[in-house]
Structure 1
């Protein structure tokens, strides 16, 4: 290797190492800044929380990480609590672009906050089309129907979810199904599903509590 090539290689290595160090620093400071935001969020100081999460999300990291996803979720939550729904939607759109199912659910909540129920439902439908195995989106859509007391329509969504072989968050969907039948005053069916739920998830305290409630009716 001649001297010219050695110089080129050296420069490239310096640049690569510099980027890696800068990205590593960004990752660490993103975490510490986000932790400060969590403290503000827990204290219901939503404006301060938003500022910290926005700062953390802006940190340079070499790759998109789970930490980045969590930071944006917290940023969106802070904006939601501030009733800055349109700004929160922009944050959730970033998550949707990365295939994050919670982005659809929380975006739908923002439209509900704005009183735009149809748009909220459309977001859920878009999410289910894009991520048909994301059980949490089905539950969100059910919740929107339930708020309108359209329990049958909501239950149909849950049934659709349970036809998916690769369904994620299945436990959440199954528990929501119990609540759906309760809301329809079909306590016998709710009890049947509650028993099956507790058998499948014996360590779930919420499920046991629901089963006890239904058995004593």
Structure 2
């Protein structure tokens, strides 16, 4: 996903969460404004204040997760996103994709594949995000050494996205790695 587009999506994700709340807490609103200004450390402090006060926990944790994500602290981002899900934030494809990427960074490939798979089951995601998650799921299986599962998923992926040249090359490679039946 391109960086500019990613930032727009993340800002929209936070804004939608805040708008959806009847009377969004000041700390969450302040965090959102700081996030829009790319002041991720300060934004995270505001989201943490909301968490500490027990206000809008799902949205506060989601905001924390996105701030940590932007700072490339994937371990904290993963914890915050999981807390957001545990505290009632909407279970979106975007959050599951971000969780999957966090787990890939932690080399926890089975968990990553689980999150990418679950993200693909969510409605309302763009086709671009669905394709990204499908490819990420394949990458997780491959990184875990499960070449058979990766090959199976990649064959379906290439059938659905035949113009993806990178995937076609990966398919040729995986055919040499996967166990023969």
Q: Which band: TM-score by shorter chain?
A: 0.5 to 0.7
> Which residues of structure 1 form unaligned runs of 5+?
1-37, 39-71, 80-84, 93-98
Structure-2 change in CA distance of 1:106 and 1:176 (3 Å): same
Q: Is the counterpart of residue 160 in structure 1 residue 115 in structure 2?
A: no
Question: Is 2:65–2:78's contact at 8 Å kept on the other side of the alignment?
Answer: no
Are 2:81 and 1:124 aligned?
A: yes
Q: CA RMSD in A?
A: 3.6
Q: Which has the larger radius of gyration?
A: 1
State the alpha-carbon separation in 2 of the partners of residues 207 and 74 from structure 1. 35
Cα deviation for residue 147 of structure 1 reads 2.0
Q: TM-score, normalised by structure 2?
A: 0.55
Judged with a 3 Å threshold, the aligned counterparts in structure 2 of structure 1 residues 88 and 73 are, in CA distance, closer, same or farther, namely: closer
The 3 A distance-change label for structure 1 pair 205 and 91 is farther
Query: For structure 2, which runs of at least 5 residues remain unmatched after alignment?
Result: 5-33, 48-58
Q: Distance in 2 between matches of 1:104 and 1:206?
A: 34
CA deviation after TM superposition for structure 1 residue 73, in Å: 7.9
SS at match of 1:211: helix
> Is 1:212 matched with 2:167?
no
Closer, same or farther: CA 73–199 of 1 in aligned 2, 3 Å? farther
Shift of 1:197: 0.4
How many matched pairs?
A: 130
Q: Which aligned pairs between 1:93-104 and structure 2 lie closer than 5 A?
A: none
